[in-house]
């Protein structure tokens, strides 16, 4: 399958990956033929990138952190819980008392979901932090929440944390940092203290420029540092009403320029396991040739395997592992069809 900008979609192309609306309902199924009406509808939803079928890339599939069926089930669970929570919060008469009751009523679904995700990711042979979602403006909150979770868990696994480490952290770090959210959450003795810590600190930065406390690096919990990086990366690579999503290479460049904001160890692990160029995207090489990203060597996600297209109709192809050809590099990501 090929990843293209929606602006390059043409009637007659066929979707290679299904598109869902903000309620996680199927909007356009895989293999459906695009029409002007469908393309305009996708644009109205704020979608800027889609996967389409391409006979030159029949053997190419995006790498997912977790299987798509589990991800869709997760998004549906998150959406349902957010919606029900919002309705119950709006109808609550004794809001402070009701908040914990409402959260407790919903936690079992989310606990089960997280356990499934952990089970899936812990047993993967190679954790790849690739995100291949088709996001709309309206479902951004739900997908962003899930993606931050997935990338954070992935980094934690790569840092060789296990479930005991994840759940048995000390509470001392929280004693001097309280706010309204913490006052509500601490009434629920079933929540782990580390949950409060991450919530309070994931916008802090290691150079002291974050918020709400402008904490120095030594006072920011390591899990909050992990979530901070995952949060920024997914935000940069998501479509927003005020700007289009950045490609992973662009997002990584921005993060690298502000490396002093992030934990050095966490950032290095992240950079080694993030796909710099999405599978199926089109690029131009420094040789002038045009190609598609078709894969990566295990553990080497900064240097891809490309499929060069050539000939008058560009139907001929040849694969090149750039690890074996250091004289060839990617000059730019293409925004047009090839």
- pLDDT tens digits, 73-124: 888 888 877 777 677 666 655 454 455 555 566 666 777 888 888 888 877 7
Give dist(CA 237, CA 19) in Å, integer. Answer: 18
Q: In which region does residue 76 sit, left (phi positive, over 0), alpha (psi from -120 to 50) or beta (all else)?
A: alpha
The third-level CATH classification (topology) of the domain covering 68-273 is Hypothetical protein af1432 (1.10.3210)
Q: What is the three-state SS of 127-155?
A: CCCCCCCCCCCCCHHHHHHHHHHHHHHHH
At 176 the pLDDT is: 41
**256-283 burial code (b ≥16 CB/10 A, e <16):** eeeeebbbeebbebbbebbbbbbbbbbb
- Does the pLDDT at position 187 exceed 80? no
The 10s digit of each residue's pLDDT in 237-257 is 887 766 778 888 899 999 999
The 10s digit of each residue's pLDDT in 321-334 is 999 999 999 999 99
Contacts of 335-338 with CB under 8 Å at 24 or more apart are 335/5, 335/7, 335/8, 336/8, 336/282, 337/4, 337/8, 337/10, 337/282, 338/282, 338/290, 338/292, 338/309, 338/314
Question: Which pTM was predicted?
Answer: 0.78
Q: Which of 110-114, 180-184, 188-192, 312-316 shows the lowest per-residue confidence on average (mean pLDDT)? A: 180-184
Residue pointed to by tokens 């997914």? 234
Helix (H) or strand (E) holding 51: strand 49-52
Mean of pLDDT values over 54-66: 89
Helices (H), 8-139: 36-44, 68-91, 95-122
The third-level CATH classification (topology) of the domain covering 1-61 is Molybdopterin biosynthesis moea protein, domain 2 (3.90.105)
């Amino acid at each position: 399958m090929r990843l293209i900008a929606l602006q390059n979609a043409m009637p007659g192309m066929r979707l290679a990956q299904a598109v869902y609306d903000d309620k996680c309902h199927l909007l356009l199924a895989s293999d459906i033929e695009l029409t002007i009406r469908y393309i305009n509808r996708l644009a109205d939803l704020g979608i800027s990138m889609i996967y389409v079928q391409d006979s030159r890339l029949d053997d190419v599939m995006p790498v997912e952190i977790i299987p798509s069926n589990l991800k869709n089930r997760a998004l549906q669970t998150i959406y349902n819980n957010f919606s029900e929570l919002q309705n119950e919060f709006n109808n609550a008469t004794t809001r402070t008392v009701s908040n914990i009751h409402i959260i407790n009523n919903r936690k079992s679904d989310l606990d089960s979901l997280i356990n499934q995700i952990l089970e899936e990711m812990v047993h993967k042979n190679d954790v790849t932090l690739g995100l291949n979602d088709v996001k709309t403006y309206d479902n951004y909150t739900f997908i962003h929440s899930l993606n931050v979770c997935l990338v954070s868990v992935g980094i934690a696994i790569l840092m060789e944390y296990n479930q005991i480490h994840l759940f048995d952290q000390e509470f001392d770090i929280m004693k001097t940092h309280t706010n309204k959210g913490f006052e509500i959450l601490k009434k629920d003795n079933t929540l782990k203290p580390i949950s409060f810590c991450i919530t309070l600190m994931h916008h802090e930065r290691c150079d002291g420029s974050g918020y709400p406390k402008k904490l120095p690096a030594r006072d920011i919990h390591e899990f909050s540092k992990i979530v901070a990086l995952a949060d920024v990366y997914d935000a940069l690579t998501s479509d927003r009403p005020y700007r289009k999503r950045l490609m992973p290479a662009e997002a990584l460049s921005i993060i690298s320029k502000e490396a002093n904001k992030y934990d050095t160890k966490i950032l290095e692990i992240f950079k080694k396991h993030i796909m710099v160029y999405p599978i199926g995207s089109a690029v131009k090489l420094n040789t002038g040739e045009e190609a598609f990203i078709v894969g990566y060597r295990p553990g080497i996600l900064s240097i891809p395997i490309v499929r060069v297209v050539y000939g008058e109709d560009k139907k001929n192809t040849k694969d090149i592992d750039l690890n074996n050809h250091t004289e060839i590099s990617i000059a730019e990501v293409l925004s047009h069809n090839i």
